[in-house]
């Protein structure tokens, strides 16, 4: 009796691992955008935390104030990465259901 329960549990775990791997793979095709400066700088990232695009509105480029532009880019990147974490938690949270797994 105990062996049957253990085998069933192992099958369920394998199924969950496969579903989780598939969900992780799909995250590379899901995107979030982070912005800064009221939309002057926009950064697009995928669910694998890869920056795939940075857009800067022309009015943001002031040769006299490169420091401000760098700060806006940094803020937009951090905003996009925060949103990526939220996306990952939303997509994969159903697999962890409250488990504290480092790196997830």
List, in order of start, the domains of the chain with CATH numbers. 2-96 (3.30.1310.10)
Cα separation, 104 vs 78, in Å, equals: 17
Helix (H, G, I), strand (E, B) or coil at 63: helix
Residues 6-54 pLDDT 10s = 888 888 888 888 888 888 888 889 999 999 989 989 999 998 888 999 9
- Token couple for 43: 């950064």
Residue 104 reports pLDDT greater than 60: no
pLDDT tens-digit profile of 46-97?
988 889 999 988 887 777 887 888 888 899 999 999 999 998 888 888 776 6
Q: Which of 73, 103, 70, 76 is nearest to 89 (CA)?
A: 103
CA 9, distance to chain mean position in Å, is 30
Tokens describing residue 27: 């995250």
């Amino acid at each position: 009796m105990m062996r049957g329960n253990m085998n069933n549990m192992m099958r369920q775990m394998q199924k969950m691992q496969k579903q989780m791997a598939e969900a992780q793979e799909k995250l590379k095709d899901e995107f979030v955008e982070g912005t800064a400066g009221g939309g002057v700088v926009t950064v697009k990232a995928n669910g694998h935390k890869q920056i795939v695009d940075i857009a800067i509105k022309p009015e943001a480029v002031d040769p006299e104030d490169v420091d401000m532009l760098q700060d806006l880019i940094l803020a937009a990147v951090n905003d996009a990465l925060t949103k990526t974490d939220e996306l990952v938690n939303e997509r994969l949270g159903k697999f962890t259901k409250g488990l504290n797994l480092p790196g997830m």
